[in-house]
Copies of this chain bind each other. A is one copy, B any other.
Amino acid sequence: MKIKVMDKILAANDAWAEVNRKALKEKGIVMLNLIGSPGAGKTTLLEQTIDMLKKKKTMGVIEGDIATTKDAERIRKKGTAVYQINTGTACHLDAHLVNAAYNELARDKTIELVFVENIGNLVCPAEFDIGEDAKVALLSVTEGDDKIEKYPLLFTEAKVLVITKIGLLKYTNFNVSYVKKVFKKLNPFAPIVMVDSLTGDGLSTWVDFVLSLKK
């Protein structure tokens, strides 16, 4: 019973994801879906990405949160259009919510790039296709090196793995080569980018990945 209901919800979501994919193609908008634990560094990575790309691209951000508009306020300070979704209790964004959000952002006809910051969670957001061009999986070194095996769906679906907070590596027992090996087993062709959004380390490689996505 519970599973049947879930199947129905996912089928409805997939239909909306298809609508999104078609519309984004027509509009020429590339959409990235950032997924990671609470505190993995999604908002900070976005702040830096906006600074690095604002002369090249017109961008918009969709902020997904259970509560508060804190992240949206941080993004707005960067001068970028932002649409906040507060889900209340839902642990993920779905394709229908995202449809309303990018349609609002796309009233600016020059928009080329939309970043979705999903709810901080490694489980639910991975199950919901929102019609994005790429799921971006973030994993901070302070979370530990066992997370890919423990939450395999996200890391299988991701188009790129971004390992964050690498400046803190020396204070943790996070084993980078082990993580790379485990990730490559699940997802052999997705690139791995290592960044520290505070020092700027690795950000140019991340930005190159973003720019490589085309419509």
Contacts and interface: CB of A to CB of B under 8 A. Distances in A.
Interface residues of A, number: 35
A196 to B, nearest CB: 11
Interface stretch (A21-29, A121-129, A201-209): A121-129
A142 B168 contact: yes
A122 B119 CA distance: 10
A153 interface: yes
Given A37-B37, A89-B123, A91-B121, A165 B143 contact: no
A39 interface: yes
Most buried by B among A9, A121, A147: A121
A67 B150 contact: yes
Most buried by B among A2, A70, A142, A144: A142
9 contacts: A38-B122, A39-B147, A66-B153, A67-B151, A89-B127, A89-B153, A91-B121, A119-B123, A167-B171
8 smallest CB-CB distances across A and B, nearest first, come from A39-B143, A142-B142, A91-B123, A39-B144, A37-B38, A37-B37, A68-B149, A5-B5
